[in-house]
A and B are shown apart, each in its own frame.
Chain A
Amino acid sequence: MATKTVAEKPNGPVAAALLAGGIGSAVLGLVTLIYELNDKSAFAKSLAWYKPAGALTGKSGLGIIAFFVAWAVLHFIFKDKETEFNRIATISFVLLVIGLLGTFPPVWHLFAGG
């Protein structure tokens, strides 16, 4: 009787996606925090990509671009590789938390000393 076998796939593309998700999240959080610490800076002003919606468009835009660019680059690097998945997953979770903290207003006040 013939048995159907499923070819193993490397975990590299999955690790790349998870890490990219973490990077996108962390970039969004850090850009938001930097903006909130000084919303009059040249960098802060440059984030108003769509004037009616203000700097939210640039902050979210940079996070989204970081996510997709990191994903493309990491996918290219990891696509055929078997990675240390648990380590990459842990780093991705930490990056997600950095993103979450960066969007949390009390953290802005903590860094601003207010």
Chain B
Amino acid sequence: MEMNLREIWTVVHGMVFGFIFLLGFSGALYAVYSMKTEWLTAEGISKTVNNIKIYLWGLAISVWAAVFTGTYIVYPWYRANPPQGATDLSTFPKFLLLANENTAQWHEFGMEWKEHVAFLAPIAATVVAFVASYYGPMLAKKIGERRAVMVFFIFAFATAAVAGLFGAFITKAAPVR
């Protein structure tokens, strides 16, 4: 059950901030989708919107936290250069993956895509949270705007899911220790 500091930060980055966003996505998407005047009463829309605003901003903050902890705390440990002549690469994940042609693609494709695509998620999620806050209950009447918000939100989820999935696989192949 022991975890060192690097492992704790890796968990905070992926299993706390990243997973909060990924797990919270479907509920928030359904809440936005179901904001229809023909489905909800005026009071229902008002209550849904008030809850959803907090929920969406929470998800946006969580995914921002995931990318910043990932980039500025965990990633430097992942990409650190091993000392000259080092043979044990277990604490240098990037170089451990690159040292074997069977695992090199986890870095060259997986990590390279993950580290960049992840930043698209908080940008799109922030836009979604803003639109819900700006319109409030009026969002129920704005069919085009609600659809656009859902496209942005699905985009945010898809990019975060790519990052999360590769993060999990890469951590299994070469954990940050």
Which residues of A line the B interface, CB within 8 A? 6, 8-9, 11, 13-14, 17-18, 20-21, 24-25, 28, 32, 50, 52-54, 56-57, 59-60, 63-64, 67, 85-86, 89, 92-93, 96, 99-100, 102-105
In angstroms, Cα B138 to Cα A103, docked, is 35
Interface flag for B67 (CB, 8 Å): yes
The interface residues of chain B, by DSSP majority, are classed as helix
Main secondary structure of the interface of A (DSSP, over half): helix
For residue B125, which residue of chain A has the nearest CB?
A21
Q: Contacts of B80 on A, CB cut-off 8 Å?
A: 52
B131 in contact with A103 (CB, 8 Å):
no
- Complex: how many Å from CA A21 to CA B148? 12
B residues within 8 A CB of A67? 123, 126
Is B83 at the interface (CB under 8 A from chain A)?
Answer: no
A14 and B131 in contact, given A6-B137, A9-B138, A57-B72 (Cβ under 8 angstroms) = yes
Count how many pairs of residues, one from A and one from B, have CB atoms less than 8 Å apart in the complex.
94
**Interface pair A89/B144, CB less than 8 Å apart:** yes
Q: Closest B residue to A36 by CB, please name it.
A: B112
Asked whether B72 lies within 8 Å of A25 as measured between CB atoms, the reply is: no
Other-chain residue from B108, B130, B134, B142 in contact with A105 (beta carbon distance below 8 A): B108
Q: Which of B15-23, B27-35, B114-122 contacts A (4 or more CB under 8 A)?
A: B114-122
Q: Which of B50-58, B84-92, B151-159 has 4 or more CB atoms under 8 Å from chain A?
A: B151-159
Tell whether B135 is near chain A: CB-to-CB under 8 Å: yes
